[in-house]
Structure 1
Amino acid sequence: MPNLILTSLLSPISSINHPHPKASGQCLPALLPIILGSCAIIFNTFLSALGIWPSPTIPFNNLSKAPMLHYLTMTVTKPEQPDTPPKNLHVGAINPFALVEAVLGRKLDWNSASTSRIIATILQTDYDELFDMSFNSILYAGLKLDDREEAAEPIDSKDVHTLTERDLLTPDFSRIKKLSDLGYMGLKDLGAIRVKHAVMTNGNLRMTLEPPRSLGKTLSNSEMTALVRDLATPFRAESQASGEKKGWTPPNGIWTDISSLYRQDATKFNNPVQGAIGNSWLIAALMSVAWSDPSSITHCNQTPAAASSTSKKDKNSEGSCTLSIKLYSKGGHLDAPTQTITVNAQVPLNTSSEMVMYARSSDEGEIWPCLYEKAFAKWISSSAKSCSEHPDLTVLSHGDPVKAMAQLTNKNPEYFLTSSRREQDLLGLVRSHCVNLRTIYPLVAYTHPTFCNNKFRGATLVGNMAYSVLGWAAPQERKQYIILRHPWGVCEPDGLTSYSGLVTKIDTKFWPPVELLDGKSGVFAIETGAFREAFSGMGVAK
């Protein structure tokens, strides 16, 4: 790069004929714009090498013909201007791994491909139809697509129905011998039934049909069993809700002090992992804040003597560990007046497995994600006034990840929509908030609720989901990627689904800052083109 600039500077000088020594002084004003423009390019190249500013594409052979201001404009471009904040964002999808664990009361292997079959069975939905809002999946309980299918909006509580065991009974199709026999089962208009799959094998045509829901009901965004409803949504019977004024407890759960799990010798980032409610907006915000500024995260206040006397199984303990954080009002949905919230270390554990049911850390030696989630729920709910230590965590379903970062840091939220920007603009936006390939401001991104042409069909890229933006990468200076972190703390095992432009195996050669994360981080890279297609917007708190 310096050689190119030097050549461009010297070429016009060598082509000038000077009749006498004084004539050379007359050329200096003409060369001044070239010299200043070249200095600006060198400075920009230096910033680009540090990862602070995107690399420009400058036509060096035209330096002698263009005015200085032209090059200064190309080199030091104006920062991206934020868009008007959306009125209300309802971002979030329930973590299916955590939800199924809470229902079964047993631990699953989140990294095993066979777990997908367990999830599909328990949630009564084909695995590839769980992660896109167009399929009305149970992971979006309480949400629906708006009329334009561009955003998620809440379902009215009166439209949420509880399924009984009788509703879930499956009709007996063993006597069906001909297609016409389906009419006796209630399938009158066969021509209108959607064919999901059709394949010819060994001369046999095998088809999967999608019958009307009246024939066989399953879990959906508006119809669910009482267990799933009470575990993952705020929709509960009035009689049950009235009894929660003094505290809330999820089904199959018990509030238990986990102070003894806290360990102060962690050397890597302990990443928050989403639990059995749809609050990826909060988990992604927590991760982005912790990643960009670890000192901004408050850890629990615990004395060594109290820690040694507290047992994980001491369910009646008041808690030897407390957390006090200040949360800031930013207006709108899921907000409250600015105040300091203090919570103890009691969180819901499953009565069978004794596992944490909601937010947890990727490292069992850290508990701050659990306590931040509890404090946030206590802040925005009526429990904050009654000082209950058992706030209803399900009120955190679906929110605004950009505003959440501002509520945690008291910074200004800025929103950037992908539809009005080019791929290079989105990459430049990320790079302008990075140093050494890593974000220094909290940055999040959230996906569209549905794909128009290619539906969200796997657990890595999920519709209506918030992700933490950790930085950018350009391995071997070829393709450029945006580095994201999944709030579920896991990427889908190889072989289930595939998306072009995704890299789920990240090492230090690909992106050096990954060394700071533990091995269960859920970090992946996405090309800028695929990012623009899948994601609806980005946001930063600064």
Structure 2
Amino acid sequence: MVTYRNLRQDETLDPYDIVEALTGRKLPRPSSSLPSRSRPTSEGYDDLSDIRASAQAKQEGPKPDPQPEDLSVGCINPFALAENMVGHKIDRHSVTAVHVLQDTLQTDYEELFDMKHHSVLYAGLKLNEKECKAERLEEGEMKILNEKDLVTPDLSRLSKLGDLEEVGMKEIGNLRIKRAGIMNNKLHLILHANDVARTVCNREVTRTMNDFCLPFRREEREKESFTPPNSSWRDARDVLIMRNMRRSLVSEYNTHFDFRTRSREFHDMREFGHMRKFDDPIQGAMGNSWFVAALFSVFWSDPAMINRNTNLHHHMMRIDFEDHENRFRVKFHDKGGRNNNKTDTVEVDYNVPVNNSSEDFVYCRSSDGLAIWPSLYEKAFAKWIRGGNGDQPNKLDHSYYEEDFVDITEIYQGDPVKAMAQINGREPEYYFTSRHSANDLIGLVRMCSVNRRTICPMVAFTYATGRGMYRGCNLVANHAYSVLGWSSVGQGEKQYIIIRNPWGVTEPQGLTSYGGVLTRVEPEYWHPASLCDREGVMAIEVGAFKEYFACLGVTK
């Protein structure tokens, strides 16, 4: 239904506003156009963009760019990795999480999210500075650090700058200064220690980090049966049942001591429709943001494409059924290149890696912790690609009834646009932002949306590095995001693209800031936000989107 704002007697409909609302593009206006104070704002015509008018038949939007031969998009989720390393949950809403990440990952927070700093979040990848993109490292290029490698020199006896040479810091005059300041006539310097104090990076990681995030197995025993550190393969349904039981016990305890309050809260939640199950996929402790973002994009635009039948009810009731029914089935489609195989339906059991301390899934999980299909999709995809490139024979073992400990880390980097096509069987289209205008990009999102929500799966990924742009976990270099739709409500002529970080995290306000980005999107601003877990959901102005993001992709 199209609605129009009531006009004053001295106002008239501006045809430019109508056409811009229909096409999602700005039009050049002649000088004879109505003055701005007499033109109605385009805000009242946003719904017109959902109508396939005849004008769109002549203007199909931008043409897709050629499909790239090889993409290595992916950034490790620092929160999931740190939580698995320390064995307990981190309060992601607190600023103190920054200190936990810095200490656990041995890297300053502002240097974690850009490949130019050689961050450990890009373990297994290297920066191609000429083309500003990430490339895979071979196993021989990676080094496993031990305790001896990370030992630092004794600095307690230093009394003057010249003493730094005695601990191995040569050519002091050439040391790079990270930060400098004067306070109370004292000069405070933070210098880069170079090779004197080694730390983890994209090429050098500890064995624990390697075993969590990378498929580089140095021993034959590790290659035969992959299990992450401090983890066990457990039936995801049993983990979920125990988790629900603990939550129920806590809920009953609270209800017993505060029945009136708890009952009123429960009634209010039901009345306002907040009793929802947010099973949005959240990335785990490796760099497969490309796959998790693609999985959520397909789920968001067409939930019926995703198999979420996990036989949980039968399992809870302990109902016996045939062995072949005790499997999770997913169909993936051949789209060529790396991380691919021939079109096939893959079956996996329900065992996934679970951290022994936190009892949380090591890798992909749902945002509410009450669904297991994201974990099973990730495992099934890793099993599907084990045959290698699409032009090689399929090496999948079709003995589906054998226990299968799939090395999930084999999908630590890849192509998010192609991944959507591998999930839903459609054709991928790539639109590199350097080749298209900001108006073309927002127009493409609007053409693929109904009621401001995408009906065709869309993803976007950032550049591998930037001019100081990527300094926090809201916008991350070489990282894939789901594109959920668009908005212009309350923003005048500004138009925003709605994106979701697969980490499911939005930074606390004031920690970092980005021009043109609205964090923590709420339903009051963008109504479809009420249909998903809003952590990690942001609105980015289309001009900023073109600056931060390298490519926008869609499957049709």
Question: Does the 8 A contact of 1:257 with 1:319 survive in 2?
Answer: no
1:307 to partner: Cα distance: 2.0
Structure 2 residue 232 is matched with structure 1 residue 254: yes
TM-score (norm 1): 0.84
Instruction: Report the counterpart of residue 460 of structure 1 in structure 2.
Output: 474
Superposition pairs for residues 238-277 of structure 1, below 5 Å? Answer: 238-242=219-223, 244=224, 247-260=225-238, 261=240, 267-277=276-286
Superposition pairs for residues 248-397 of structure 1, below 5 Å? Answer: 248-260=226-238, 261=240, 267-302=276-311, 304-309=313-318, 322-381=327-386, 384-385=396-397, 387=400, 388-397=403-412
Instruction: Report the counterpart of residue 253 of structure 2 in structure 1.
Output: none
Q: Distance in 1 between matches of 2:173 and 2:30?
A: 65
Superposition pairs for residues 109-124 of structure 1, below 5 Å? Answer: 109-124=91-106
TM-score (norm 2): 0.82
Query: Could you give the per-residue CA deviations for residues 248-294 of structure 1, whole angstroms, max 9, x where no partner exists?
Result: 2111110111224279x984552100000100000000110000001
1:118 to partner: Cα distance: 0.6
Query: Could you give the per-residue CA deviations for residues 14-45 of structure 1, whole angstroms, max 9, x where no partner exists?
Result: xxxxxxxxxxxxxxxxxxxxxxxx99x69x93
Query: Could you give the per-residue CA deviations for residues 50-87 of structure 1, whole angstroms, max 9, x where no partner exists?
Result: xx631553758989xxxxxxxx9899423210001111
Superposition pairs for residues 410-449 of structure 1, below 5 Å? Answer: 410-449=425-464
Q: Distance in 1 between matches of 2:384 and 2:56?
A: 47
**Amino acid aligned to 2:24:** P
Gapped runs of 5+ residues in structure 1?
10-37, 64-71, 311-317
Question: Does the 8 A contact of 2:181 with 2:187 survive in 1?
Answer: yes
Q: Distance in 2 between matches of 1:174 and 1:58?
A: 67
Question: Does the 8 A contact of 1:45 with 1:55 survive in 2?
Answer: no
**Amino acid aligned to 2:506:** C
Q: Distance in 2 between matches of 1:483 and 1:425?
A: 16
3-state SS of 2:456 partner = coil
1:234 to partner: Cα distance: 0.8
Q: Which runs of 4+ in 1 moved over 6 A?
A: 1-4, 60-63, 72-75
3-state SS of 1:380 partner = helix
3-state SS of 1:217 partner = coil
**Amino acid aligned to 1:367:** I
Superposition pairs for residues 135-284 of structure 1, below 5 Å? Answer: 135-148=117-130, 150-213=132-195, 215-242=196-223, 244=224, 247-260=225-238, 261=240, 267-284=276-293
**Amino acid aligned to 1:296:** M
Gapped runs of 5+ residues in structure 2?
34-53, 245-273, 388-394
Percent of pairs identical after alignment? Answer: 44
- Return closer, same or farther for 1:355/1:321 CA change in 2, 3 Å cut-off: farther
Q: How many residues align?
A: 487
Q: Distance in 2 between matches of 1:56 and 1:206?
A: 51
Superposition pairs for residues 510-521 of structure 1, below 5 Å? Answer: 510-519=525-534, 521=535
Q: Distance in 2 between matches of 1:408 and 1:74?
A: 29
1:300 to partner: Cα distance: 2.6
Instruction: Report the counterpart of residue 68 of structure 1 in structure 2.
Output: none
Q: Distance in 2 between matches of 1:226 and 1:240?
A: 15
Q: Distance in 1 between matches of 2:444 and 2:111?
A: 32
Q: Distance in 2 between matches of 1:176 and 1:423?
A: 55
Instruction: Report the counterpart of residue 476 of structure 1 in structure 2.
Output: 490
Query: Could you give the per-residue CA deviations for residues 302-358 of structure 1, whole angstroms, max 9, x where no partner exists?
Result: 163432339xxxxxxx99853211100101010011100111221110111211110
Question: Does the 8 A contact of 1:300 with 1:322 survive in 2?
Answer: no
**Amino acid aligned to 2:231:** G
Q: Distance in 2 between matches of 1:3 and 1:487?
A: 41
1:400 to partner: Cα distance: 0.2
Q: Distance in 2 between matches of 1:98 and 1:78?
A: 41
Query: Could you give the per-residue CA deviations for residues 73-104 of structure 1, whole angstroms, max 9, x where no partner exists?
Result: 89942321000111111000000110011111
Q: Distance in 1 between matches of 2:483 and 2:314?
A: 39
3-state SS of 2:505 partner = coil
Structure 2 residue 536 is matched with structure 1 residue 522: yes
Instruction: Report the counterpart of residue 67 of structure 1 in structure 2.
Output: none
Q: Over aligned residues, Cα RMSD in angstroms?
A: 3.0
Question: Does the 8 A contact of 2:61 with 2:440 survive in 1?
Answer: no
- Return closer, same or farther for 1:176/1:3 CA change in 2, 3 Å cut-off: closer
3-state SS of 1:91 partner = coil
Q: Distance in 2 between matches of 1:134 and 1:55?
A: 35
- Return closer, same or farther for 1:2/1:183 CA change in 2, 3 Å cut-off: closer
Q: Distance in 2 between matches of 1:531 and 1:47?
A: 19
Q: Distance in 2 between matches of 1:159 and 1:396?
A: 18
Question: Does the 8 A contact of 2:288 with 2:413 survive in 1?
Answer: yes
Moved more, 76-85 or 400-409: 76-85
Question: Does the 8 A contact of 1:196 with 1:209 survive in 2?
Answer: yes
Question: Does the 8 A contact of 1:276 with 1:357 survive in 2?
Answer: yes
Instruction: Report the counterpart of residue 402 of structure 1 in structure 2.
Output: 417
Query: Could you give the per-residue CA deviations for residues 495-538 of structure 1, whole angstroms, max 9, x where no partner exists?
Result: 2211111111322221111111134x310111111111110001
Q: Distance in 2 between matches of 1:173 and 1:379?
A: 52
1:101 to 75, 78, 83: 83
Q: Distance in 1 between matches of 2:183 and 2:297?
A: 49
1:47 to partner: Cα distance: 9.2
- Return closer, same or farther for 1:427/1:3 CA change in 2, 3 Å cut-off: same
1:155 to partner: Cα distance: 1.2
Q: Distance in 1 between matches of 2:478 and 2:428?
A: 19
Q: Distance in 2 between matches of 1:226 and 1:527?
A: 41
